[in-house]
Amino acid sequence: MSIEITALSKSFGDFPAVNNVNLKVETGEMVAFLGPSGSGKTTLLRIIAGLEFADSGNIFFSGEDVSEKSANERKAGFVFQSYALFNHMTIFENIAFGLRVVPRNKRLSKQEIRECVLSLLDTIQLSGLENRFPVQLSGGQRQRVAFARALAVKPRVLLLDEPFGALDAKVRRELRAWLSEFHNKTQLTSLFVTHDQEEAFEVANRVVIIHNGTIQQIGYPDEVRSKPANSFIHDFLALDI
């Protein structure tokens, strides 16, 4: 599914957090939003997810205007850094959560939910751990469970806000590689927020550099590094060219 954003703006009081953003993400792309703290990355992602609403501008999912639709109707899967697992539930129940809360007439059968959860456990390479509780997993394993929970509802797009932010460098690198491989396999259109340029350049097809709520440059990783559009980007990336 493609995502198109046109003239999107959002202020908190008189502070413009997102300022006239225009962006087209093609089906199957993995795009990183890269920018310093407070630049508006999370706000933009939340507006795309339907967790927050813009003051003006529109969002299209494959040509359909979803600007007024709820997060549920948009069917986006999200993984946030702070989106902790439910500690009192097993890994199985955590992943099944989104499948159990749908209205009865749309809900999968018990057996179908079981099959779906077991297949997702296989995807995140945690088969056999379904009866454990979150505290019995490592940080990286927990983060993969958060992914599985987001994927269970068969999202049309995947929105990731610093999903590896709290993890140590080694686990981050492992999860990055895992995410790239996962994306290559599924080709699920994905948006990925980070302030870590190494992460952005390694995982994303294209990078969107954000500063003060506005897009400074959109480009392929090589392009952004070899031809930064302005001095802010040059300094932010600490380029030596």
CA–chain centroid gap for 61, Å, is 15
Residues that bind Mg ion (rule: CB under 5 A) add up to a total of 1
Please choose, out of 41-49, 60-68, 167-175, 205-213, the segment that lies near Mg ion by the rule CB under 5 A.
Answer: 41-49
Q: Closer to Mg ion at the Cβ: 42 or 197?
A: 42
Task: Residue 37: name its binding partner from ligand ATP, Mg ion, none (Cβ under 5 to 8 Å by kind).
Answer: ligand ATP
Task: Residue 12: name its binding partner from ligand ATP, Mg ion, none (Cβ under 5 to 8 Å by kind).
Answer: ligand ATP
Q: For 107, list phi and psi in degrees, rounded to 5.
A: -75, 145
Q: Closer to Mg ion at the Cβ: 45 or 99?
A: 45
Residue 135 is encoded by which pair of tokens? 């505290």
Task: Residue 190: name its binding partner from Mg ion, ligand ATP, none (Cβ under 5 to 8 Å by kind).
Answer: none
> Could you say whether residue 43 binds Mg ion (CB under 5 A)?
no
Quote the CA–CA distance of 241 and 225 in Å, as a whole number.
Answer: 9
Quote the CA–CA distance of 164 and 161 in Å, as a whole number.
Answer: 9
Helix (H, G, I), strand (E, B) or coil at 186: helix
Q: Closer to ligand ATP at the Cβ: 52 or 202?
A: 52
Q: Which of 212, 169, 171, 172 is nearest to 192 (CA)?
A: 172
Among 39, 42, 94, 194, the residue binding Mg ion under the rule CB under 5 A is: 42
> Could you say whether residue 143 binds Mg ion (CB under 5 A)?
no
Smallest distance, Å, CB 114 to Mg ion?
35
Q: Which of 17, 20, 87, 28 is nearest to 52 (CA)?
A: 17
Which positions ≥6 away from 43 have C-beta within 8 Å? 10, 17, 18, 52, 213
Positions that interact with ligand ATP (CB under 6 A): 12, 17, 35, 37-43, 195
Residue 87 is encoded by which pair of tokens? 């500690």
> Could you say whether residue 94 binds Mg ion (CB under 5 A)?
no
Please choose, out of 3-11, 37-45, 98-106, 119-127, the segment that lies near Mg ion by the rule CB under 5 A.
Answer: 37-45
